[in-house]
């Protein structure tokens, strides 16, 4: 008995000698070294100390060379900065943006969609407005480009095919909104061959033939609108071989035959809005169920609990995975093991998606600052 008490007392004394950092490392809450090193931060706007700062859903985009960063903000500003943080140009609109600009460098075009339903075509070099298109509903996702045509979806389940050079309507398709649900989000259109895939705000996923002005090929209902609310299918579809992977807000991740829409498997998870496929694994984050790594056949490899709020799109570069959260800021973990590396707290969270180019990561925080990091 005395021997047992002695061992216990010794263990407690040794634990008291271990630093807080060492204890966090042992518990998987910290890493022996950081994997993100701040290069600079750029305040793009500020608010008075008595007014709340709204969420900033702006997502930075790198040029192909990585020397320019483009960003659109909720205040209606579209800016271009050098990779050293120097402002190159700024254009202000009487509108609000909640998505990333789309840069089409081969045709020298920067496209950005607004909550007011306006789609702007700008010069990436000067920010000059080249054209404007007015749609029905808010543009809240990315865009697709094919043979001189830009494809864009809205919160009202509209699909627009717009000429890239003039911004004129080529054709459009309207999907009637099902009753009994809340409109929230939608996916970006994804093109594979002649088919365009898009997720709707009522939980449907559709495949359309763009060579036949958006003729419906198949439609798959991922949710039950009669029993549920917030049933969006706003995860951008991913194509890998003959399989399409996507997710709906309440029912989780699904794998479908891309040509027929037939269900191959599903993995239940709540609130999934983004998927990534790297090295034959699927990664996603659920605000309720945590970070997941699955095989392409839907088998769980590992799972890591997090409690940092609503997650954004996750990015992977080598053995580094980065995820932004609207409450907890930016975290870095190992995509192979799920081991926690580092957390960068902006003090206000991050509501937009980060962007990676080479060994650098850019993110726009809710405090109105644009950050650039070096990835180690």
Indicate the class that CATH gives domain 38-375: mainly beta
How far is the CA of 109 from the CAs of 101, 113, 231, 326, in angstroms?
10, 13, 34, 30
Q: What are the distances in angstroms from CA 71 to CA 15, 87, 98, 131, 371?
A: 48, 11, 10, 18, 12
**Cα(306)–Cα(289) distance, rounded to whole angstroms?**
8
Give the tens place of pLDDT for each residue, 322-359: 999 999 999 999 999 999 999 999 888 999 999 999 99
The pLDDT of residue 223: 72
Mean residue pLDDT of the chain comes to: 88
Q: Tens of pLDDT along 222-265?
A: 876 555 555 567 789 999 999 999 998 888 999 999 999 999 99
Q: State the pLDDT at residue 227.
A: 54
- pLDDT at residue 21 greater than cutoff 70: no
How many C-beta atoms lie closer than 10 Å to residue 18's C-beta?
Answer: 11
Half-sphere exposure of 186 (CA within 13 A, CB side): 30
Strand order in the sheet with 360-364: 36-43, 369-375, 360-364, 355-357
Task: Report which DSSP code applies to 210.
Answer: G
Percent of the chain with pLDDT over 70: 85
Question: Is the confidence at residue 10, as pLDDT, over 80?
Answer: no
* Predicted local distance difference test score (pLDDT) of residue 225: 57
CA-CA-CA-CA dihedral for 33, 35, 41, 44, to nearest 10: -140
Residues 142-152 as b or e (16 or more Cβ within 10 Å = b): bbbbeeebbbb
pLDDT tens-digit profile of 57-109?
999 999 999 999 999 999 999 999 999 999 999 999 999 999 999 999 999 99
Is residue 97 classed as helix, strand or coil in its secondary structure? coil
* Residue 271, both tokens: 């609130």
Position 2 confidence tier, pLDDT thresholds 50, 70, 90: very low
């Amino acid at each position: 008995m005395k021997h047992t008490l002695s061992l216990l007392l010794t263990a407690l004394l040794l634990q008291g000698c271990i630093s807080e950092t060492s204890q966090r490392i042992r518990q998987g809450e910290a890493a022996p070294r950081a994997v993100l090193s701040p290069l600079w931060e750029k305040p793009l706007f500020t608010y008075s100390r008595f007014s709340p700062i709204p969420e900033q859903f702006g997502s930075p985009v790198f040029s192909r060379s990585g020397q320019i960063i483009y960003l659109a903000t909720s205040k209606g500003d579209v800016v271009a900065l050098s990779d050293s943080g120097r402002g190159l140009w700024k254009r202000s609109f009487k509108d609000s943006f909640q998505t990333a600009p789309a840069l089409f460098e081969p045709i020298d075009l920067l496209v950005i969609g607004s909550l007011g339903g306006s789609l702007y075509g700008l010069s990436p070099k000067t920010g000059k407005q080249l054209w404007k298109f007015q749609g029905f509903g808010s543009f809240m996702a990315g865009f697709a480009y094919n043979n001189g045509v830009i494809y864009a979806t809205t919160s009202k389940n509209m699909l627009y095919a717009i000429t890239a050079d003039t911004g004129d309507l080529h054709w459009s398709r309207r999907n009637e909104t099902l009753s009994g649900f809340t409109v929230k989000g939608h996916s970006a259109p994804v093109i594979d061959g002649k088919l365009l895939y898009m997720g709707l705000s009522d939980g449907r996923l559709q495949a359309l033939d763009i060579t036949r002005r958006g003729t419906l090929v198949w439609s798959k209902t991922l949710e039950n609108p009669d029993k549920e609310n917030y049933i969006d299918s706003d995860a951008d579809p991913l194509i890998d071989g003959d399989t399409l992977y996507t997710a709906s807000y309440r029912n989780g991740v699904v794998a479908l035959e891309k040509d027929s829409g037939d269900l191959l498997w599903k993995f239940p998870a709540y609130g999934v809005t983004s998927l990534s496929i790297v090295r034959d694994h699927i990664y996603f984050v659920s605000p309720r169920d945590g970070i997941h790594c699955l095989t392409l056949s839907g088998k769980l490899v590992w799972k890591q609990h997090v409690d940092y709020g609503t997650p954004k799109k996750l990015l992977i570069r080598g053995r580094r995975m980065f995820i932004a959260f609207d409450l907890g800021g930016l975290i870095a973990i190992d995509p192979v093991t799920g081991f926690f590396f580092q957390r960068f707290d902006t003090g206000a969270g991050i509501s937009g998606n980060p962007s990676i180019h080479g060994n650098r990561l850019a993110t726009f925080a809710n405090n109105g600052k644009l950050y650039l990091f070096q990835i180690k």
